[in-house]
Structure 1
Amino acid sequence: MTRQTAPQPVGCEIPATTGAYGFGVLGATLDVYRGIRPDLHCSVRRCAGSLPLPGAGTVRRITPTEEPVRVPWVVEAVLKIGVGDSVAARPASDHTSGYVRVVGASIEEVERRMREAQRVHRRARRADRRATDRFSARHHPRLPLPTTGVHGVRRLHPLFAVLAVLLTVAAAPPDRAAPPDRAAAADPTRTPGTPSYSVDLRSDATGAHWRGHERIAFSNASPEPLNEVYLRLWDNFRGGCATPSVRVTDLHVGQGAQDRGLQDGGVQDRGAQGTPGATPDRYEVACTALRVPLPRPLPQAASGTVEFDLTVDVPDGIDRFGRDGAFSFVGNALPVLAVRDGTGWHLDPYSELGESFFGLSSDFAVTLDHPTDLLVPATGTAVDTPGEPGRTVTRIGARNVREFAWAAGPFSRIAGRSAGGVRISVYSVTDITPKDAQAMLDLSLRTIDDHAAHYGPYPYGDLATVLDNRFDFAGMEYPAFVLDRVRPSAVIHELAHQWWYGIVGDDQYRAPWLDESFAEYSMAVAMGDTGEGCTARTPWQSADERLTGPMSYWDTHPDRYVPVIYDRGSCALHELRRLIGPDTMTTLLHDYARAHWYGVSTTADFKAAAQAATSVDLTPFWREHRID
């Protein structure tokens, strides 16, 4: 999505905590809106009142936008805060805090959303506590596990979900994309096929700024010719076209054995900031898509290449693409090919609530040249060699993966090998304790083999887990690489994504349930949760809600995303298990994963496979659970 200038708030900007005990601030927020707290006064520069405020030290700034500033503390009994003020803090496990702005079309709508967020949060905490207790008793009774927090992956804290929907009210409409290639609209073949990415990047001293070159080789899998390809520059969502984080320049297109530059119909120098030769109309979807016309139509089975110079600047902000002090997280930064199928080109907008990513299985060969004191956990298997004085060259290979992600920083690292032979490394930021890191490694080693027994062997050999408790999400999945907090349920969920989204792909924007519901169900199975009574706990609240709804719906109804896609979705799979029998369900998921190994799953595919696995007529089941 395009980041628009933040609208003026109905109320005022306040500091707010997130985490297990953050909802006292929501109540205070309502009081500000209602004007019934005369002791609480807020402005853009200052907020006075008895509220939890960000952590120990000196306040550097109070943000005038919705950008959060997070620290892992909760401050007690601070009456005033402003730039330059000092604050006293106390430790509070599993907490973060930040400045947020609540914006809405009406006070009533703000209040309604807050009440719903509170209900969702309470239900999720209860469910997580029950599931964690079951898993602890089953797998490692001596391991102390947290009993608070929302289970699952990339669940925005309910307060941030409120922000997302209310900001959407005031947001400008998305840019109008150029018409997709209509010639192949009726052809269901997914193309470009067999993508292969070769990337060479060199970082600065911080690991937050990378410069280098990328080359993409591909073929046309479709009987219809390819007249163009699209590059997805996902991480430009943050700065948009004005200040892009990912910049492509000196772009060349080749077909067949010979690469062709400008002299033979290629395109070159498509900088997003008006560099010579740029064509602004080629950038679409808030500069997260770049249209690259081919010199001539590419027929079926013919090959092509796109190569360009690449610049990646990791912005401030603790996110899947962002920085936490000396640590950089570089998810979705490499430009990748968009997919064309029977619906045309998939050029969906970026979703901060969930994921928008859709890619075909690809091969990556990535070289990262970086300071030796920085570790670079990444998708794939890595080999380090000495570089220039004080630098290391890390060469990474990954086959049959949909994306490539990495991190850079002075991480602490521990590693182990599962009974099934999977090598797992856990990389921790500074404030993760050795005990927590070891607990997450031990859990990961058991879980990867447990998932493999259910859904097929883990094929990549290596897996990297990066731990940071300041993430405002519980976890984020990439092939053979995950971002997590120290939270067992999140780790189990993320590792399930190695199958549901990674090995068995899906369109995460148009059918998010195919990976999130399946990963949440797989997590529950691993933790011994049978989902008893889950239907009553997850009622539908609107006739418009569908389990198979796209992110375009959930981005405008963020308070319902987790209850439906995670909770109701996993519940539906539990109910299917009860309907067709546990053995049949186990066989169904194992065989379904095998049938779509490195491929793409669709709702229609899963419905057909489930019906073929049982003599029970599943038509009423699909209708009840709104699986279209």
Structure 2
Amino acid sequence: MTHGRWCGDGSRRTAIVAAVLAGVLALTGGCTGSRDPGSSRDGRGFQPGADGVGDPYFPRYGNGGYDVASYALKLRYDPADDRLSGTAAITATATEDLSRFNLDLAGLTVAGVSVDGRRAEFRHEETELVVTPERGLARDGRFTVEVTYDGVPKPIDSPDLGEGGFMATSDGAIALGQPESASTWFPVNDHPTDKASYEIAITVPQGLSALSNGVPGERTTADGWTTWHWSERTPMASYLATLVIGDYRVRDGSHDGKPLVTAIAASLPEGGSAEVSLNRTGEIADFLATRFGPYPFDSYGGVAVSDRRIGYALETQSRPVYGPAFFTSGPNDSVVAHELAHQWFGDSVSIRRWSDLWLNEGFASYAEWLWAEHDGKGTAQREFERVYATTDWSKPALDPGRSALFGRPVYQRGALAVHALRRTVGDEAFFRILRTWTAEKRNANVVTADLVTVAERVAGRSLRPFFDAWLTGTTAPPPPPPVS
């Protein structure tokens, strides 16, 4: 990828000379001095931020050089022509002396960029928006970048991971996907390691709903358009941000003193399986809180969509989104338990690299077993025995490879490891490990070694060989006997 350059010799010049120099630079692309454009008055050289965080599976996801604190998005979407227009105000702190930095943005047209209210140079190529501020950004300094953009968003289609991102529907749109989706509808540092708060205002034609994450705000209507406001103040990974626009039956309620907002696509049966399942959201969340610790966010909810391209459910923070296939055979509490468990495992406690995804999916899959047992539909031990007997132990749960990121071992072998841990240390220590993990690592990013450390400390014994055998060993470990 080619990046633009801005160069200066650091001397004071008159406005006329500066204008002439600017013209020369535009024609030649050259520099008149050797210092970086962002060089500070004390002589420090400022450098460009990295165009990726270096994740082993997705090296170009995210960007280096800054840490985002918050996103404030003002969006307008018209399903008549699928056009999205928006302004994103991103507040961040520089983690190094920056001459320029990158944001991830795919398939949209940028009209202008400013940094701290001053116009900034930018170049947008493929999925990288390269921003060069008027002057360098000093390490530990806070800054705000504002990006104005519009266009017809498109999803991202990966040959091994499938389609995700912003998808137009017959009555609106759905922005959803893992591991990548946010960059298709707003400029972002698109990696779980840079969690931030969100304020989202979405203007849509009157009569349509516009759902997103967090606590609902006011809804205002003028000139045939309605603006919906949402606020997610607890730090959120970018792939967990969602936008669902269309004809929905929205139910505004509360649970445990917090908003509980559910939405069902109008084309799904009223009082049908999806509605019955989502109506148990508060009940299931309360049960999981007895096992995992207090619910970590300021709102609850869920959205059931009808577009069959969404063949999955995703734990979008505080308000999971469910594809229609989960409810074709009747109510499905299991998928609700899975996505709600992610609010603790994946959303509140987030992975530092994608190769540790089992930390999200193994615990969420195990939550299905816990809920089924609580609801009188079998036992966790019986489900463990069934899955154990059908597991391919040559395929690891930890570090499965990019193409197998969403494969069965990450989910089911991960759940086996969780139950085996329970049998190894006993219920009292096991649930104390889970509650300690969710409390100590709340809002943090983690790797598997962090879990091992917490588990060993709480259990008072070495567990590294145990985790190695259950997560990456190539032969079936013997099932541990129950602790008496």
**2:195 aligned with 1:361:** yes
Task: Tell me the residue number matched to 1:540.
Answer: 393
Contact kept? 1:197, 1:215, Cα under 8 Å:
yes
Alignment deviations for residues 142-171 of structure 1 (CA, whole Å, 9 cap, x no partner): xxxxxxxxxxxxxxxxxxxxxxxxxxxxxx
Task: Tell me the residue number matched to 1:407.
Answer: 244
Task: Tell me the residue number matched to 1:97.
Answer: none
**2:102 aligned with 1:267:** no
Distance 1:532 1:214, change over 3 A: closer
Alignment deviations for residues 232-287 of structure 1 (CA, whole Å, 9 cap, x no partner): 23xx3xxxxxxx2x333312234xxxx332xxxx314x35xxxxxxxxxxx3xxx3
Task: Tell me the residue number matched to 1:581.
Answer: 426
Unaligned runs of 5+ in 1: 1-176, 183-189, 237-243, 272-282, 340-356, 556-560
User: For 1:338, which of 180, 184, 189 is the aligned residue?
Assistant: 189
User: For 1:493, which of 328, 333, 338 is the aligned residue?
Assistant: 338
Alignment of 1:186-205 (within 5 A): 192-205=66-79
Task: Tell me the residue number matched to 1:310.
Answer: 149
Distance 1:608 1:503, change over 3 A: same
**2:81 aligned with 1:230:** no
Distance 1:393 1:472, change over 3 A: closer
Distance in 1, matches of 2:408 and 2:465, equals 22
Contact kept? 2:302, 2:320, Cα under 8 Å:
yes
Alpha-carbon offset, residue 206 of structure 1: 4.3
Alignment deviations for residues 585-605 of structure 1 (CA, whole Å, 9 cap, x no partner): 111111111111111121111
**2:226 aligned with 1:389:** no
User: For 1:477, which of 307, 310, 315 is the aligned residue?
Assistant: 315
User: For 2:262, which of 411, 426, 430 is the aligned residue?
Assistant: 426
Distance in 2, matches of 1:181 and 1:421, equals 39
Contact kept? 2:363, 2:415, Cα under 8 Å:
yes
Distance in 2, matches of 1:260 and 1:597, equals 36
Alignment of 1:13-412 (within 5 A): 192-206=66-80, 208-220=82-94, 222=95, 224-233=96-105, 236=106, 244=107, 246-254=108-116, 259-261=117-119, 266-268=120-122, 270-271=123-124, 283=125, 287-293=126-132, 297-311=136-150, 313-315=152-154, 321-331=166-176, 332=182, 333-338=184-189, 357-400=191-234, 401-403=236-238, 404-412=241-249
Distance 1:520 1:471, change over 3 A: farther
Structure with the bigger RCO (C-alpha within 8 Å, sep 6+) is 1
- CA RMSD in angstroms, aligned pairs only: 3.0
Distance in 2, matches of 1:493 and 1:375, equals 26
SS of the residue 1:384 aligns to:
strand
What amino acid sits opposite 1:605 in the alignment?
A: D
SS of the residue 1:527 aligns to:
helix
Distance in 1, matches of 2:196 and 2:417, equals 32
Distance 1:180 1:387, change over 3 A: closer
Contact kept? 1:521, 1:570, Cα under 8 Å:
yes
Alpha-carbon offset, residue 477 of structure 1: 1.9
Distance 1:548 1:212, change over 3 A: same
Distance 1:445 1:178, change over 3 A: closer
What amino acid sits opposite 1:363 in the alignment?
A: S
SS of the residue 1:598 aligns to:
coil
Contact kept? 1:416, 1:441, Cα under 8 Å:
no
Contact kept? 1:337, 1:359, Cα under 8 Å:
no
What amino acid sits opposite 1:497 in the alignment?
A: H
Distance 1:601 1:547, change over 3 A: same
Distance 1:376 1:527, change over 3 A: same
Distance 1:369 1:588, change over 3 A: same
Contact kept? 2:264, 2:275, Cα under 8 Å:
no
Distance in 1, matches of 2:318 and 2:68, equals 19
Contact kept? 1:253, 1:267, Cα under 8 Å:
no
Contact kept? 2:292, 2:434, Cα under 8 Å:
yes
Distance 1:384 1:524, change over 3 A: same
Distance in 1, matches of 2:80 and 2:243, equals 14
Alignment deviations for residues 554-588 of structure 1 (CA, whole Å, 9 cap, x no partner): 26xxxxx4321011011111111111111211111
Distance 1:509 1:296, change over 3 A: farther
What amino acid sits opposite 1:249 in the alignment?
A: A
Distance 1:371 1:181, change over 3 A: closer
Distance 1:201 1:452, change over 3 A: same
SS of the residue 1:613 aligns to:
helix
Unaligned runs of 5+ in 2: 1-48, 55-63, 158-162, 177-181, 374-379, 474-484
Distance in 2, matches of 1:311 and 1:565, equals 37
Task: Tell me the residue number matched to 2:285.
Answer: 448
Task: Tell me the residue number matched to 1:46.
Answer: none
Task: Tell me the residue number matched to 1:130.
Answer: none
**2:388 aligned with 1:552:** no
What amino acid sits opposite 2:199 in the alignment?
A: A
Alpha-carbon offset, residue 203 of structure 1: 2.0
Distance in 2, matches of 1:305 and 1:550, equals 38
Alpha-carbon offset, residue 472 of structure 1: 4.2
Distance 1:205 1:192, change over 3 A: same
Alpha-carbon offset, residue 218 of structure 1: 0.5
Distance in 2, matches of 1:550 and 1:230, equals 29
Contact kept? 1:584, 1:614, Cα under 8 Å:
yes
Distance 1:230 1:450, change over 3 A: farther
What amino acid sits opposite 1:491 in the alignment?
A: V
**2:354 aligned with 1:509:** yes
Contact kept? 1:512, 1:551, Cα under 8 Å:
no
TM-score normalized with structure 2 length: 0.71
What amino acid sits opposite 2:333 in the alignment?
A: P
Distance 1:205 1:291, change over 3 A: closer
Contact kept? 1:248, 1:310, Cα under 8 Å:
yes
Distance in 2, matches of 1:457 and 1:579, equals 25
Contact kept? 1:425, 1:463, Cα under 8 Å:
yes
SS of the residue 1:625 aligns to:
helix
TM-score normalized with structure 1 length: 0.56
Distance in 2, matches of 1:445 and 1:532, equals 26
Distance 1:299 1:522, change over 3 A: farther
Contact kept? 2:50, 2:102, Cα under 8 Å:
no
Distance in 1, matches of 2:204 and 2:409, equals 43
Distance in 2, matches of 1:319 and 1:302, equals 34
Between the two proteins, the alignment pairs up a number of residues equal to 385
Alpha-carbon offset, residue 625 of structure 1: 1.9
Contact kept? 2:102, 2:131, Cα under 8 Å:
yes
